[in-house]
Amino acid sequence: MSTTINSAQSFTLERNAFGRLVLTDAQGGLHEHVIPVRAFPVTSPDRGLSLVSSDGHELAWILSGTGLGLAGLALVAVRRRRQAAEA
């Protein structure tokens, strides 16, 4: 699933064999174990999603969930459910 947020930010988001999110950035850099973090989970759950690396660095900012498309939203939703189960 390839996702373009704007002309300056393009990336591919997919799930690896272990079910973890993997982001490939516009320069071809591979970032494994990407963690989706909602900026405003209570007040605006469909807006402000950050994709961060396992060491906490922001890799991508998605203003609206519609920017990911259905396939991207499904990948993020699966990862969020796994995070909740692990907590």
Q: Nearest Cα to 46, choosing from 71, 73, 9, 19?
A: 73
pLDDT at 8: 43
Domain ranges of the chain: 2-86
Q: Name residue 51's beta-bridge partners.
A: 36, 60
pLDDT digits (tens, 9 = 90+) for 1-60: 444 443 345 788 888 898 888 888 888 999 999 888 888 767 776 677 888 998 999 998
CB atoms within 10 A of CB 2: 12
pLDDT at 47: 75
pLDDT at 31: 94
pLDDT at 78: 64
Q: Name residue 64's beta-bridge partners.
A: 47
User: For the whole model, what pTM was predicted?
Assistant: 0.66
